[in-house]
Chain A
Amino acid sequence: MSNSATLFDNDFMERLEYLKLMATRMLPSRHRGEHRARKRGSGIELADYRPYVDGDDTRDVDWKAFLRLDKLVLRIFDEEADLPVYLFVDRSASMAFGDPPKFDFARKMAGALSYIGLMNHDLISIVWYGKKIDGWMAPKRGRNQIFRAFRFLDAGDTGGATSLAACFRTFFGSRRKRGLAVVLSDLMDEEDLLGAFDACRYQKHDMFVVQVLTPEELDPALPDEALLTDSEDGSERRVRVTPRLLDRYQKALAEHQEKVEEYCSRYGFGFCVANSGEPFEDAVMAIFKTDRFIR
């Protein structure tokens, strides 16, 4: 926990309290698992009514309505379940860039989400991934697991290439309880990114994608003649940087983001872009503000 003093220090904890307070205001209060299940069933929160048919559980019949209406009406409750939250944190070499590094930013976001999730009795899993799954914190629930999560996140390090597809194939190849997959990555993935998302989608998982980019990636400042070296594969490209070229870069980046966003939008997933140069809590709040993070 040597890094915990810098990454998850008291200041960070105070920010988490603020985030928790904000999250409490923005999200409905629940006692058990915070994520509403998609199917209706046993639970305590009334969702709807419907006429009684043979075979229905008579315990759900609303007898007061029967006395008023002289009809058997069945109460329908939302089935409440403690849906797991899978936090996929990209630890490839490209995440080491930025000030603060994108990796730290992603870890802080993961720590914040873990904190809020654990405080709300969600089942939290954290996955390091690069070219493959490099580490996994098994699902944890309960507030007492928060420091375990912090220690896990604090121990992470960057290096290697990225393959979300390989990670998802491996991770979701095993049967996982259906839940919410949160991807914290710069999405600079040479392999089929949307194919990776498909692997998640086919398993009926919900998904929220957070693209973490540095200000330099969003608005590059380069010398006129530059030899660009890829931090992951070492490939080099010589460029003569011109305003037109930078404009093309912005467009290409926007196209890349639009492709992901369009995919997410099409399948009801969440997507947002986080600037690592901004406070991480702003990014977390931006995530909460999207109605796609919590259904």
Chain B
Amino acid sequence: MGFGAAPLLIALGVLLTAGIIVVLYWVRPEPQPVVVPSNLIWRRVLDERRRREDFWRWLVSLVIALLAGLAVILAMAQPLPEGASRGGRIVVVMDTAPSMAAALPEGGTRWEQAAEQVRRILTGRSETSEFLLLDTAGDRGGRSFIGRREALEALDELGPVHGREHRFPDVADLLGSADGAPAADVIFVGDGVYVPEAPEGVERLSVFESVPNAGITAFDVRPLPSDPGRFEAFIEVVRHPAGEEDAGVVVLQIDGAGGASARRTLRPDPGTPLGETVPLTGFVAGPVRAVIAISGEDGLPADNVAHAYIPARNRLRVLLAGGPNPFWEAALRLDPRVSLTMAPSGPDALADLDTGSLDLVVVEGAPPEAMPPVPVLFAGSGSAEWLPPRLASEAAGAGNEDGATVMLPVVRGQTEHPLLRDLNFEDALARDVAAFDAASLGDRGPWTLLLGDSRLGLLAARESPLRSLAFAFPIARSNLPLQADFPLLLSRALSWLTDVEVRRVGLGQARVAMAAGAIFDAEGREVPSRRLGSEISFDASEPSLYYAAGGGREVVVAASLLDRRASNLNQSAWAGEPPASLAPAGTVASALWPLLALFALLLIVAEWVAFHRHATV
């Protein structure tokens, strides 16, 4: 047996306790002198009593005092059982997977139970022990062993981490040493859901306990293909009962802006995801929240809520500038959302735009000198400072001048762009092209090339400060409006230019492509964030809507768990193992010293009562 307290403290405790015992034996109450007629009877009584009982009473009193003293000393010394008393190094690997946030039926979470187990391990070990606290998310790495207090502080900073890959850290160097004995005791505390295996030689401490759970594993809001002004939600729900019982009923509630709501009762098979499409009739642009509820316990509240955002406006106020243009007029009027207005002719047509009454400006022909304060769809060969630089006419090719046609190939790598995904413009031709300088676009400027080749830029898009699209040729001088996919391209372009930018992220660290800005939560409070290059990173640990604002842009970030694996809390490789309800060897000591102190106190009280109440004499 060893001791958890420092040797100096133990020695001090021994001296102090011994001193107290000696003093207590010295300090006896002074007897009150009483003169009696004769001591004859008293002498007989006392002689007999001393012979029979005084020795035993003295012996019992001494034993009690020694026991009490020993208990006090042991309590101060914090004895450690065999195995825990040895010093050495202890490596604790914490499972920080999302499933560790599962709520247990008896209260608390798997993580809280694991943390409590680890605290017992840390406090139950010798004072001279060194600890290394690692986690499966890799937040704590390195090989620096620390003291108990630092380890406890580090433990308090850990917790279940979403959106990361979880794996058992490499501890091979700690499991073996030159003489064959492990360099450290390695203990893995987890639930076996995300990290089912641990290397041989690692002591596994399971906090897994089967819990029922229902969760949303997918949630998306999209416009109806037939009517871009109406939307539907796709949601996937899964329910994992704790045992063999039926999965039961899941009540789905979808709420939108303006009090719109939809409600469904779902009956998913146990463990099988159930997809459901819900028409969002009456829903308008704005936040959409899906909530599921089940009867009984639910293991993970984080997957009961999912957020989305309806980005599109139901009505687009579009100003067509550059004079009458039947191509544009016909194409824009095909979109039912568009409310088209014709701008008067002249160079000052866009001078005094009322941005409050406009959503988009479509310009064909000569570009305005300054960039309009609303998103712009431009098509033409003119130059302006806010447009991408164009190639010189020699470089662009003489064919442009004599009416030669130019193909419109999609730039490699942009086939998955939201504007161009699954569209085909192989037969598109254009005349009077004043091509953009493709070499000056891309990463070196705000414009991104969408159509063209490595030299000729034909369609470019920019994100900030306002979204804009620029064709390098007049639409009227091409056969683009005749292409089958042109209406779709135009519809997408209108949405891309005018929709609120929405980004869906999982829980955990989220990133938004924004050079500068701040993150706000749904209540408008700023969320701590940091810049990572051209991105802003922040902790989206709770399912909610966040707003990133900066540089004239606003991005809505819908953070939801939406993770089938995380929702399946019972998919543990350790399911057959009993949970770690008992503390491992060594952790008993943390609770031993109060018991010893209590034992000492009881002995002292018993001795005091027995002495003063004459119970033993």
Mark the stretch among B41-49, B224-232, B520-528 that contacts chain A: B41-49
Asked whether B36 is an interface residue with its Cβ less than 8 Å from the other chain, the reply is: yes
Asked whether A204 is an interface residue with its Cβ less than 8 Å from the other chain, the reply is: no
Asked whether A145 is an interface residue with its Cβ less than 8 Å from the other chain, the reply is: no
Report A-chain residues with C-beta under 8 Å of the C-beta of B40: 188-190, 256
Least CB distance from B492 to A in Å reads: 101
Asked whether B82 is an interface residue with its Cβ less than 8 Å from the other chain, the reply is: no
Chain A stretch 221-263: residues in CB contact (< 8 A) with chain B? 222-233, 235, 237-240, 242-245, 248-249, 252-253, 256
Report B-chain residues with C-beta under 8 Å of the C-beta of A242: 614, 617
Asked whether B581 is an interface residue with its Cβ less than 8 Å from the other chain, the reply is: no
User: Is A222 touching B38 in the complex (CB atoms < 8 A)?
Assistant: no
Task: Identify A228's interface contact among B28, B36, B48, B614, CB under 8 A.
Answer: B36
User: Is A239 touching B37 in the complex (CB atoms < 8 A)?
Assistant: no
User: Is B34 touching A240 in the complex (CB atoms < 8 A)?
Assistant: no
Per-position contact with A for B20-51: 1 when CB-CB < 8 Å, else 0? 00000000111111111111111111101100
User: Is B35 touching A225 in the complex (CB atoms < 8 A)?
Assistant: no
Task: Identify A223's interface contact among B34, B37, B41, B45, CB under 8 A.
Answer: B34
Instruction: Kindly state the separation between the CA atoms of A225 and B41 in the bound complex, as whole angstroms.
Output: 18
Asked whether A217 is an interface residue with its Cβ less than 8 Å from the other chain, the reply is: yes
Per-position contact with A for B420-434: 1 when CB-CB < 8 Å, else 0? 000000000000000
Report B-chain residues with C-beta under 8 Å of the C-beta of A102: 37
Chain A stretch 178-202: residues in CB contact (< 8 A) with chain B? 186, 188-190
Asked whether A97 is an interface residue with its Cβ less than 8 Å from the other chain, the reply is: yes
**Given A240-B617, A248-B48, CB of A226 within 8 Å of CB of B35:** no
Report B-chain residues with C-beta under 8 Å of the C-beta of A252: 41, 44-45, 48
User: Is A227 touching B32 in the complex (CB atoms < 8 A)?
Assistant: yes
Report B-chain residues with C-beta under 8 Å of the C-beta of A245: 45, 49, 617
Q: What count of chain A residues pass the 8 Å CB interface test?
A: 39
Instruction: Kindly state the separation between the CA atoms of A253 and B49 in the bound complex, as whole angstroms.
Output: 15
Report A-chain residues with C-beta under 8 Å of the C-beta of B48: 248, 252
Q: How large is the interface on B (under 10, 10 to 19, 20 to 34, 35 or more residues)?
A: 20 to 34
User: Is A249 touching B32 in the complex (CB atoms < 8 A)?
Assistant: no
Count of A-B residue pairs with CB < 8 Å: 91
User: Is B45 touching A248 in the complex (CB atoms < 8 A)?
Assistant: yes
Task: Identify A214's interface contact among B30, B37, B42, CB under 8 A.
Answer: B37
Report B-chain residues with C-beta under 8 Å of the C-beta of A249: 41-42, 45
Per-position contact with B for A254-283: 1 when CB-CB < 8 Å, else 0? 001000000000000000000000000000
Report A-chain residues with C-beta under 8 Å of the C-beta of B617: 240, 242, 244-245
Least CB distance from B464 to A in Å reads: 93
Asked whether A94 is an interface residue with its Cβ less than 8 Å from the other chain, the reply is: yes
User: Is B37 touching A225 in the complex (CB atoms < 8 A)?
Assistant: no
Task: Identify B32's interface contact among A95, A188, A214, A226, CB under 8 A.
Answer: A226
In the complex formed, the residue of B with least CB distance to A235 is B39
In the complex formed, the residue of A with least CB distance to B48 is A248
User: Is A227 touching B34 in the complex (CB atoms < 8 A)?
Assistant: yes
User: Is A188 touching B37 in the complex (CB atoms < 8 A)?
Assistant: yes
Instruction: Kindly state the separation between the CA atoms of A228 and B33 in the bound complex, as whole angstroms.
Output: 6
Report B-chain residues with C-beta under 8 Å of the C-beta of A190: 40
Instruction: Kindly state the separation between the CA atoms of A256 and B35 in the bound complex, as whole angstroms.
Output: 21
Instruction: Kindly state the separation between the CA atoms of A97 and B37 in the bound complex, as whole angstroms.
Output: 6
Report B-chain residues with C-beta under 8 Å of the C-beta of A93: 37
Least CB distance from A223 to B in Å reads: 4
Task: Identify A238's interface contact among B31, B36, B37, B45, CB under 8 A.
Answer: B31
Least CB distance from A276 to B in Å reads: 11
Chain B stretch 198-230: residues in CB contact (< 8 A) with chain A? none
User: Is A229 touching B35 in the complex (CB atoms < 8 A)?
Assistant: yes
User: Is A230 touching B39 in the complex (CB atoms < 8 A)?
Assistant: yes
Instruction: Kindly state the separation between the CA atoms of A220 and B33 in the bound complex, as whole angstroms.
Output: 14
Instruction: Kindly state the separation between the CA atoms of A94 and B40 in the bound complex, as whole angstroms.
Output: 11
In the complex formed, the residue of A with least CB distance to B57 is A240
**Given A245-B45, A248-B49, CB of A230 within 8 Å of CB of B38:** yes
**Given A237-B42, A239-B46, A245-B45, CB of A217 within 8 Å of CB of B32:** no
Instruction: Kindly state the separation between the CA atoms of A223 and B28 in the bound complex, as whole angstroms.
Output: 15
Report B-chain residues with C-beta under 8 Å of the C-beta of A226: 31-34
Instruction: Kindly state the separation between the CA atoms of A74 and B529 in the bound complex, as whole angstroms.
Output: 144
Report A-chain residues with C-beta under 8 Å of the C-beta of B33: 226-227, 229
User: Is B37 touching A231 in the complex (CB atoms < 8 A)?
Assistant: yes
Least CB distance from B28 to A in Å reads: 8
> Can you pick out 26 interface pairs between chain A and chain B where the beta carbons lie within 8 Å of each other?
A93-B37, A97-B36, A102-B37, A188-B40, A188-B41, A189-B40, A220-B36, A223-B32, A223-B34, A225-B28, A225-B29, A226-B31, A226-B34, A227-B34, A228-B36, A229-B33, A229-B36, A231-B36, A232-B38, A235-B43, A238-B31, A240-B617, A245-B45, A245-B49, A249-B41, A253-B41
Given contacts A227-B32, A235-B39, A248-B49, 19 further A-B contacts (CB under 8 A): A93-B37, A188-B41, A223-B32, A223-B34, A225-B29, A225-B32, A226-B31, A226-B34, A228-B39, A228-B42, A229-B36, A229-B39, A230-B36, A232-B37, A233-B39, A237-B42, A239-B46, A248-B45, A256-B40
Closest 8 CB pairs of A and B: A188-B38, A94-B37, A242-B614, A230-B39, A227-B31, A225-B31, A223-B32, A97-B37
Interfacial residues, chain B to chain A (CB-CB below 8 A) = 28-46, 48-49, 614, 617
